[in-house]
Each structure stands twice: as structure tokens, then as C-alpha cells.
Amino acid sequence: MGAKNAEDLPEEVESWIGKERYQEQTEFPIEMGYVYTTCAAVENGNPLFWDGDTAEELAGGPIAPPTMLSAWFRPHFWAPGRTKVAQPLQVHFDLKEKLDLPEAVMTDNTIVFGEPVRPGDVLTTCQVLHSVSALKETKLGTGRFWEIEVRYTNQNGDVVGTEWYTGYGYRRNG
């Protein structure tokens, strides 16, 4: 974190650096259905998520796996009245568009966990762009690395987590 910024960035992209953007709430209260689906996807048998008595004893009731944080903020693929696909981590997609880099992958992810996330919680998030690199060649193509912080709080104002992503937006060579 804290990489040096490129000197050839569009003014609009420079204006995003260090700013809290896209503050939004979860589209639905936290629910256990996705918890079970997530645990099933990785065959996570932790009784903290499957056994009510264990959850009550250890965490005072059911909680979600900490690493699910970002899942709660991915928008529905479709919703009534929505005219285009809503994107999670919108700053990442803004960068792709403004820097004319049609492809992108994530390379690094850091998550620091705070208060547990519980069913019924309504979470709030915002995104902060921290850096955008100069153009770099990789095996995928030519592009730029960028660092984005995502902050998560619950309805009580408790920090439930903070996440940092390094993305690489690129144009394929040839």
C-alpha cells in the first residue's frame, strides 16, 4: 500500500485519489442462506457457522464467515428499474473506463476483520483509490496497477472490516 502514482494520469483520475466514494448500504440485510452456500462452496465444516449452539456459545449467536465481507456488497445482477449492470467495486471499473484498459484482474487482497457480521446487520461501505501506477508490461498485456481500499461498517457504526485490493487493468498485446 502507498505505491507511487503515475505522472500521466487524467485529471479526473487524479481527483479520485484519497477521496471516499460510492458510500452505499447492502442491498439486503445479512442472511444465513449465503453463509451456508459459501461454506458449502469450500466445504467449510466449521461448527461456528453450522451449529446454533456453538455459535451461541462462542459468538453470542450466528455470524457470517469473516472473509464474506465483499460478497455482501456485490449488487444483484438484475433489479427492477435498473438499466445497466451494476458493478461491485465501482472505482475499479471507473479506472478501466477512464484509463481505456478493457481487461482487469485482481492481484493482491488484504482484509482486516473487525466486529463479526451477523444476520440482520445492514452494512455500509465506501471505496478509496490510493494509487495508480505508470504503464507496465506483464504477460497479460500493457496496463497499470491500482490500489483501492474498501471500508465496511455495521448499523451501529462498528468497523466490521477493511479491505485493500491491488488491481491490474490492461490491454492485451498484439
Partner 1 sequence: MTAQTTSLTAAEVDEGARLPELSYDVTATTVVLGAMASRDWRPMHHDYDFAVNRNGTKNIFLNTPNQAAWFERYLTDWSGPKGRLGRIQFRMKDSVFPGDTMVFGGVVKKVADDESGCSWADLEIELKVGDKVVTGCTARMALPKDESDNPWSRKGQDWKP
107 CB-near residues (< 8 Å, 6+ apart)? 145, 166, 167, 168
Cβ nearer to partner 1, comparing 85 with 134: 85
Binding mask 106-145 for partner 1 (x = CB under 8 A): xxxxxxxxxxx-----------------------xx----
CB of 143 to partner 1, least distance (A): 12
Segment near partner 1 (CB under 8 A); pick from 5-13, 14-22, 41-49, 123-131: 41-49
Residue 29 lies near partner 1 (rule: CB under 8 A): no
Element (H, E) at 171: strand 159-171
Alpha helices, DSSP H, located in the chain: 11-16, 32-41, 47-50, 52-59, 90-98
Residue 3 lies near partner 1 (rule: CB under 8 A): no
Q: Work out which of 5, 29, 54, 119 binds partner 1, going by CB under 8 A.
A: 54
| CA pair distance 100, 87, nearest whole angstrom | 17
Query: Is 23 strand, coil or helix?
Result: strand
Q: Kindly report the CA angle at 79 between 77 and 85, in degrees rounded to 5?
A: 45
Q: Work out which of 145, 146, 152, 165 binds partner 1, going by CB under 8 A.
A: 165
Segment near partner 1 (CB under 8 A); pick from 8-16, 17-25, 30-38, 126-134: 30-38
Size of the chain in residues: 174
Give phi and psi for 109, each to the nearest 5.
-145, 125
Q: Work out which of 40, 52, 122, 138 binds partner 1, going by CB under 8 A.
A: 40
| CA pair distance 131, 55, nearest whole angstrom | 40
Q: Work out which of 17, 68, 126, 135 binds partner 1, going by CB under 8 A.
A: 68
Name the site residues for partner 1 (rule: CB under 8 A): 34, 37-48, 54, 58-60, 65-68, 70-71, 74, 77, 85, 88, 103, 105-116, 140-141, 158, 165, 172
